[in-house]
């Protein structure tokens, strides 16, 4: 629940990055604290975009297995268990190629993956994940796609019922 308290649902660690929406006061020595949950998800979306760009340069697939292996390395986590949990919760195959985060058409699957990662990171139930914060975080991360995403969401009733 530390990630929830910090408005950092994916437990992004402190680094040289100066995150938009980071709280002025940082009392957690390990993880960034954000002003709102949407800014915490914005950071996650931007991190996924960086992963996508790096994976492309390295010739690696942008899929759940590679993302989680980078996000939660075996030196700190039971990465295989993390991957299995995300597969199960998101219903996305581990080796299924995903669209880049900056492509609004990829939102559905990547948002499900982020929700599943939030469950793993915080030990909460999927129904406790703040879907609206994931959505608002995407719009903060990729404002150029906000209108397209809003239009898609109007027709995505089944998406809202995780």
Counting every residue written for the chain, the total comes to 162
The answer to whether position 161 is within a domain reads no
The answer to whether position 160 is within a domain reads no
Predicted TM-score of the model (pTM): 0.93
* Residue in the block written with tokens 């995403």: 149
Q: How many CB atoms lie within 10 A of CB 151?
A: 11
The answer to whether position 14 is within a domain reads yes
Summarize pLDDT for 67-115 with one digit per residue, the tens. Answer: 999 999 999 999 999 999 999 999 998 789 999 999 988 899 999 999 9
- Cβ partners under 8 Å of residue 14, min gap 6: 26, 29, 30, 31, 32
The answer to whether position 89 is within a domain reads yes
- Both structure tokens of 144: 């150029």
Total of domains in the chain = 1
The answer to whether position 52 is within a domain reads yes
* Helical H segments across the chain, by residue range: 2-5, 37-58, 64-71, 79-90, 107-122, 131-141, 146-154
Rg of the chain's alpha carbons, rounded to an integer? 15
Residue 56 domain boundaries:
2-154
The answer to whether position 61 is within a domain reads yes
Summarize pLDDT for 107-159 with one digit per residue, the tens. Answer: 999 999 999 999 999 999 999 999 999 999 999 999 998 888 888 788 765 55
The answer to whether position 162 is within a domain reads no
The answer to whether position 132 is within a domain reads yes
């Amino acid at each position: 629940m530390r990630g929830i308290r910090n408005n950092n649902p994916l437990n992004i660690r402190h680094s040289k990055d100066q995150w938009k929406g980071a709280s002025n006061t940082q009392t957690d020595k390990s993880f960034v604290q954000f002003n709102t949950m949407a800014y915490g998800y914005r950071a996650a979306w931007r991190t996924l975009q960086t992963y996508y760009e790096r994976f492309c340069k390295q010739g690696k697939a942008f899929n759940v297995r590679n993302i989680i292996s980078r996000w939660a390395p075996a030196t700190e986590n039971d990465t295989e268990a993390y991957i299995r949990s995300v597969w199960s919760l998101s219903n996305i195959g581990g080796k299924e190629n995903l669209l880049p985060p900056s492509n609004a058409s990829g939102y559905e699957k990547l948002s499900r993956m982020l929700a599943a990662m939030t469950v793993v990171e915080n030990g909460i139930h999927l129904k406790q994940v703040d879907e609206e914060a994931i959505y608002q975080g995407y719009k903060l991360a990729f404002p150029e796609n906000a209108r397209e995403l809003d239009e898609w969401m109007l027709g995505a009733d089944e998406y809202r019922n995780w």
